[in-house]
Every structure is written in C-alpha cells, then in structure tokens.
Amino acid sequence: MLLSPAEWQALRISLQVSLVAVALGLLPAIAIAWLLARRAFPGRFLVQTLVNLPLVIPPVVTGYLLLIALGTHGWLGSRLHAWLGIRLVFDWKGAAIASGVVAFPLMVRAIQVGIESVDPRFEQAHRTLGHGALSTLRRVTLPLCRHAVIAGAVLAFARALGEFGATIMIAGNIPGQTRTIPLAIYTALESPGGDQQAWRLVGISIILAAGALAASELMLARARRRLAP
C-alpha cells in the first residue's frame, strides 16, 4: 500500500503520540493500580472515581480541561513554559498528554485486575525473605501479572491511536505536527475526493490495532506457558 508523504507523517505522529502516551502513563498507572488493589486508605473511592473519570466524560471535555490547565496561560502550562520552555498547546507533546489521560483508566483497570489476581501469599513470602514493598512489587507482583500490564499497555496504546476529541482540543490539527491518523481521516473526509485517502488511513488504523493486539496475545500465551503448574 503506497502512502503519500502526508499520510506517512500522520502515521509517524500517531505512533509517536501513542507510544509516548503509554510510556508516560505506565509507571503512574502501576502505582495507582497497586494502591487500589493492595491498600485500604481513606479516599480510595475518590481516587478510583478520579482515575475512571476520563472513561465516562466526553473526550472533548477532557481536552478542554487540559487546555485550561496546560495552556500558555494555564496554571501548569504557564509554569512549564516559564521554567522549562516547554509548550504543550498546538504541539505533539500536548497530543501525547491528552491521549495518555484518556487512555489512563484502561491501563489502570487492566493492571489493577492483574495485581488482584496475584496470590498475595507470594508477596508475603518475598517480604519475609528480606525485601521491601517496592522490591516485592518489582520482582514478584509485576512479573506475575505481566500479562495484565502488557494487556493494559496495549489497550492504552490502541485507545491513544484512536484519540480524537481531546487531542484536537489541545493540539489542534496541524499537518506534519499534530495531525494524527484520526485527525487525518477526518480532514480527508472533509476534503473533496478525499475518500481514497481516508480508506487508506482506515486500513492503517485497523492494521496497527490488530498488530498490537496480536503481539500482546503472543506475549500472553508465552507468559501463561511459563507459569503453568
């Protein structure tokens, strides 16, 4: 399938935005998933609700709230710009953050379920061998639920690939800079005679998502074989 330079750019930006979105969200997602799965603390319900909020509110609303916070006049955006010279609005980095926020609950939920499925007695045994909570998370809990971590990351990656509403709010639709595949499909369908281009991009979207899922299934199967009793 031959792609035009603009389509290649959309593909590259989509991959870059989605990968960065997953990479940025992974560690916080693991931390919050562990907290929700293994610790009872006051305000747990509030944290659970806040984490899941992006699942149920319209992505455009998420994007708008991000724009308020991260815009050049926003409370966080102005500081980032003043101190580090980082500008997130109308930039692929802003798109990555927007995609990351929208995909975050999927990652947390998958990893939380995975951690809950790990028999806590293995973690207890590891603690009695002289290891702290963080070491036990790293050496026992996460390896034993790596399938869930992979599944969560793949789900988040696929969700970030498809992100539209929040991305367009904060990063706009700038060709070669912030135009991801969904934005390129939207633009193509808005343009006269853009159907063919839209179909090619739809094909790429499906191939990317299916490829990611297949890769995660493969890794899951290997992990299951390894842990089979």
CA-wise closest residue to 97 among 74, 67, 61: 67
Q: How is residue 138 annotated by DSSP?
A: I
CA-wise closest residue to 189 among 197, 179, 181: 197
CA–CA separation, 63 and 97 (whole Å)? 10
Nearer to another protein, 136 or 187 (CB): 136
Nearer to another protein, 122 or 199 (CB): 122
CA–CA separation, 181 and 177 (whole Å)? 12
Q: How far is the CB of 60 from another protein (least distance, A)?
A: 43
Q: How far is the CB of 46 from another protein (least distance, A)?
A: 25
Give CA separation, 30 vs 14, 46, 112, 135, 178, in Å.
24, 18, 8, 14, 28
Classify 174 as helix, strand or coil: coil
Assess contact for 168 and 176: CB atoms under 8 A: no
Name residue 23's amino acid: A
Q: How far is the CB of 153 from another protein (least distance, A)?
A: 19
Give CA separation, 111 vs 1, 45, 62, 151, in Å.
36, 17, 23, 8
Helices (H) then strands (E): counts for the chain: 12, 0
Nearer to another protein, 128 or 196 (CB): 128
Nearer to another protein, 87 or 139 (CB): 139
Q: How far is the CB of 117 from another protein (least distance, A)?
A: 13
Q: How far is the CB of 10 from another protein (least distance, A)?
A: 40
Residues that bind another protein (CB under 8 A): 121-122, 124-133, 139-140, 143-144, 226-229
Nearer to another protein, 113 or 133 (CB): 133
Nearer to another protein, 145 or 169 (CB): 145
Q: How far is the CB of 27 from another protein (least distance, A)?
A: 21
